[in-house]
Amino acid sequence: MSVIDAMRDKLAALDPVTIEIIDDSAKHAGHAGAKGGGGHFRLAIVSARFAGCRTMERHRLVYDALGPLMKREIHALSISAKTPDEH
């Protein structure tokens, strides 16, 4: 299973309406943090679960859903987390 597939699988817990994951790892080749094997990703996710949450709370929900992937497979993650009303 690819890292993106694993991310989609874990993020399904947030009942996303839409989800887009872009692997930007190639742009960071040679970066000190990238040498550890973790990739750089951009995530755009829309979920009703974010309603009433501030940005930091939304990011925490994403990090919690991704769990151990954040320690190995993902070095950097840019997050856009919106509700369906904000999308």
Q: The CATH number of the domain where 30 resides is what? A: 3.30.300.90
Q: What is the pLDDT of residue 38?
A: 74
49: in domain: yes
Has residue 71 been placed in a domain? Answer: yes
Structural domains of the chain, count: 1
Instruction: Flag whether 87 is in a domain.
Output: no
Q: What is the pLDDT of residues 32-87, one digit of tens each?
A: 555 556 789 999 999 999 999 999 999 999 999 999 999 889 988 999 999 999 97
- Per DSSP, what are the bridge partners of residue 22? 42
| Domain interval for residue 17 | 3-82
Structure tokens at 32: 């000190």
DSSP string, 2-71: -HHHHHHHHHGGG--SEEEEEE-GGGGTT-GGGGGS-EEEEEEEE-GGGTT--HHHHHHHHHHHHGGGGT
The model carries a pTM of 0.87
In a domain, 38, yes or no: yes
